[in-house]
Amino acid sequence: MSSSLKNEISASDFEVDAPDLRLMCKARIIAMVHNLRVAMTALALAAGISILGLSGNSLAVYKNTYVPDDYLLPLWPESFDIRPTTALVVGSAIATVVNVMSLCTSEIPSLRARAGAHASASLAAPVVGFIAALVAMAFFYAINASTTIDTFQSWTCRWKQVNMTAQPHFGTLCRQSKVGLILAVLLVPLELFVLATACFQVFLERKVGAVSHKRGGRGGSPAMS
């Protein structure tokens, strides 16, 4: 009799604990996906800051060394298009801001506790960052392909072999422009990956939340945080 009672109690405990174990397993998966998304967002932020620094410095050098066309030895051509570099500055600045906002909502407890705001920021940030990086990259390539008007990259890379003792150092500026463009190209799939990860995380959180709410309504275990 005692053995039968123990078996019934053990079976009952197993029936109660099995759903809880599944919730715990899903919660661990959500935590791993969350950490992956945060890490990739931080990487996208680092890329955005690097692009902003490189492209911003290039524009600053241009503005500091630009002289009128009637100057004896102008360093820059009369027909010169700096819009591709400006596009990289604007696109990287937007990506930097939205990624900072995403990290804040993910790591600050008071903001992360607001499920709606957290989910919206997690999804909106990579969407905006992806669009900004894609537009900046496409704009850069479209204008830089011109054979009639020089851009910052085409001009500096054309004269990169010239040794200069003062600004502008064309070789350095050429390398900066190329690195900034490479980072912008890499930022596009990176933001897309962050978006896919965020969508998966939101899907899992809503699924676990629905199950926890359903079990809570039946007197089961409370939802796991």
DSSP for the chain, written as a single string: -HHHHHHHHHHHHHHHHHHHHHHHHHHHHHHHHHHHHHHHHHHHHHHHHHHHHHHHHHHHHHHHH---TTSSS-SS-SSEE-HHHHHHHHHHHHHHHHHHHHHHHHH-HHHHT-HHHHHHHHHHHHHHHHHHHHHHHHHHHHHHT-SSSEEHHHHHHHTTTS--SSS--HHHHHHHHHHHHHHHHHHHHHHHHHHHHHHHHHHHHHHHHHHHHHHHHTT-PPPP-
Residue 101 and residue 121 in contact, taking contact as beta carbons nearer than 8 Å: yes
Per-residue model confidence as pLDDT tens digits over 41-99:
999 999 999 999 999 999 999 999 887 766 666 788 888 899 999 999 999 999 999 99
pLDDT for the residue numbered 16 = 47
pLDDT for the residue numbered 3 = 53
pLDDT for the residue numbered 123 = 93
- pTM of this structure: 0.81
pLDDT for the residue numbered 119 = 85
pLDDT for the residue numbered 148 = 82
The segments of the chain whose pLDDT lies below 70 read 1-20, 69-73, 211-225
pLDDT for the residue numbered 214 = 66
